A and B are shown apart, each in its own frame.
Chain A
């Protein structure tokens, strides 16, 4: 818990104690906002925005939605119909008050990289009213042909195994791939080619440019015993040190976690398919089974609002229930 919010720098009435108090009765969702690199949190009530949340979202220059870990093709007890829950996520996106500029999908689109799974995922995601969708692969998406099928479908204009960057309304987005060429005994890996590209990609940016990095496996050591981290993430983050505001969005662990380290805030998203246990709370990180009527409350998507000027990035994790 030492990594979480320790004080209330921005005087917005939500410190760590307040956050935890709110969580005690909210339980199902959390709003995160970033002011000058410092993460703030507030509860979210069953997907409906409270007054506190709406205040956080007001004046945003643009918003996007992070969606993750759809695992189309998975059909085990934890969720026998992952296509239905992905559809619910898309419906939720489409019912947003303001359409997001775009979606980020942070990987594990499929369960086994099967063409039929990718077909289904693409079919459902096509229904999202959200401009375009930016992807990064999860390890489940590159199980065949060294990920060629993933690249053909989702990464046509990318480099290497699927990494790329783009600019949107003053913010610089970087999609990284840390799920290929993994070495025995190790964690996620970016590799030297990608690191070199990243160094070049950001070298001409002003330090005031807000940076948003997204990748599948967390770029911080969430729980290395379960492989929840990336071996060479420190090197990548080293290239981003000079920037005033860096946000890192990940998937893979099917639960919300956050961490602040200097000007870098880390956030992981819920899955649309099935939950996974908290670190070390089960024999393995395998799918967590919950009663059917509770499943949707542990799945979800993240709405992200960006406010220019104070580098504010507000993240609302919204359960599907």
Chain B
């Protein structure tokens, strides 16, 4: 019993050390096995998000650009996770996705405009 507790203790220390290394030295954080963080672009044209679905690795940043003559507001479905200001023509909005999942979003002033980001 005593031996098992020691093993856990050792493992926890190693994990903590790794976490610390990741936090303080970002350039060393990604091991070759990790998917590299990247960026993706979503364009807003004719009251629609394109592409309507994009799949990105964890840590990626998505940038929306409004090409319409009317403003749009990029908003996560829950209204909390992310919400841009009103994007006028050619304005951008970026958000970095740090956890895996499927994130549905819409334009909060033209709610028929819906799309999603899949983070893997």
Taking Cβ atoms with an 8 Å cutoff, the residues of A that contact B are: 76-78, 111-113, 139-140, 143-144, 179, 182-187, 224-227, 283-287
Does the CB pair A184–B104 fall under 8 Å? yes
- Confirm or deny: B111 has a beta carbon within 8 angstroms of a beta carbon on chain A: yes
Q: Tell me if A182 and B71 are in contact (CB < 8 A).
A: no
Q: Let me know if B11 is at the binding interface, CB within 8 A.
A: no
Instruction: Please determine whether A286 and B46 come into contact, CB atoms closer than 8 angstroms.
Output: yes
Given that A182-B109, A284-B46 are known contacts, is A143 also in contact with B77, CB under 8 Å in the complex? no
B108 touches A182 (CB 8 A): yes
Contact partner of B89 (CB less than 8 A), chosen from A76, A113, A139, A185, is A76
Inter-chain contact total with CB atoms closer than 8 Å: 60
Alpha-carbon separation in the docked complex, A279 to B16 (Å)? 60
Interface residues on B, range: 20 to 34
The answer to whether B111 touches A186, judged by C-beta atoms less than 8 angstroms apart, is: yes
Contact assessment for A286 and B47 in the assembled complex, using a CB-CB cutoff below 8 Å:
yes
Do A286 and B68 touch across chains, with their CB atoms under 8 A apart? yes
Chain A to chain B contacts (Cβ below 8 Å), 28 pairs: A76-B89, A77-B69, A112-B71, A112-B86, A113-B86, A139-B109, A139-B110, A143-B71, A143-B86, A182-B109, A184-B106, A184-B111, A184-B114, A185-B111, A185-B114, A186-B112, A187-B111, A224-B112, A226-B112, A227-B110, A227-B111, A227-B112, A283-B46, A284-B47, A284-B48, A284-B68, A286-B47, A286-B68
- By beta carbon, the residue of chain B nearest A231 is B111
Q: In the complex, given contacts A143-B85, A182-B109, A286-B69, what are 20 additional A-B residue pairs having Cβ atoms less than 8 angstroms apart?
A: A76-B69, A76-B89, A77-B69, A78-B69, A112-B71, A112-B88, A113-B86, A139-B109, A139-B110, A143-B73, A143-B86, A184-B114, A186-B112, A226-B112, A227-B110, A227-B111, A227-B112, A284-B46, A285-B47, A286-B68
Q: Which A residues touch B77, using CB under 8 A? A: 184
A179 to B109, CA, bound (A): 7
- Contact A183 B109, beta carbon cutoff 8 Å: no
Question: In the complex, what residues of B have CB within 8 A of residue A287's CB?
Answer: 69-70
Closest chain B residue to A143, Cβ basis? B86
CB of B117, distance to nearest CB on chain A (Å): 14
Q: Chain B residues with Cβ under 8 A from A140's Cβ? A: 71, 109
With both beta carbons as reference points, the residue of chain B lying nearest to A186 in the complex is identified as B111
A185 and B112 in contact (CB under 8 A), knowing A76-B89, A286-B47? yes
> Which among A77, A179, A184, A286 is the interface contact of B70 at CB below 8 angstroms?
A286
Chain B residues with Cβ below 8 Å from A225 are 112
Contact partners of A284 in chain B: CB under 8 A: 46-48, 68
Contact A187 B112 (CB under 8 A): yes
Bound Cα distance from A106 to B52, whole angstroms: 32
How long is the Cα–Cα vector from A186 to B109 in the complex, in angstroms?
A: 10
Task: Report chain A residues within 8 Å CB of B106.
Answer: 184-185
List A contacts of B46 (CB < 8 A): 283-284, 286
Instruction: Tell me which residues across on chain A come within 8 A of B71, comparing CB atoms.
Output: 111-112, 140, 143
For the complex of A and B, the 3 pairs showing the least CB-CB separation, nearest first, are A284-B46, A184-B106, A139-B109
Residues of B contacting A286 in the complex (Cβ-Cβ under 8 angstroms): 46-47, 68-70
| Alpha-carbon gap, A94 to B21, bound state (A) | 73
Name the distance in Å between A157's Cβ and chain B's nearest Cβ: 25
A111→B91 CA distance, assembly (Å) = 15
Shortest CB–CB separation between residue B86 and chain A, in angstroms? 4
Which B residues are CB-close (under 8 A) to A76?
Answer: 69, 89
By beta carbon, the residue of chain A nearest B75 is A184
Question: Which A residues are CB-close (under 8 A) to B69?
Answer: 76-78, 286-287
Q: How far is the CB of A77 from chain B (nearest CB, A)?
A: 8
Max chain A C-beta neighbours (<10 A), residue from B68, B104, B105, B109:
B109
Residues in B neighbouring A111, C-beta threshold 8 A? 71
Chain A nearest CB from B63 CB (Å) reads 20
Query: Across the interface, which residues of A come within 8 angstroms of B105, CB to CB?
Result: 184
Q: Which of B53-89 contact A (CB under 8 A)?
A: 68-71, 73, 75, 77, 85-86, 88-89
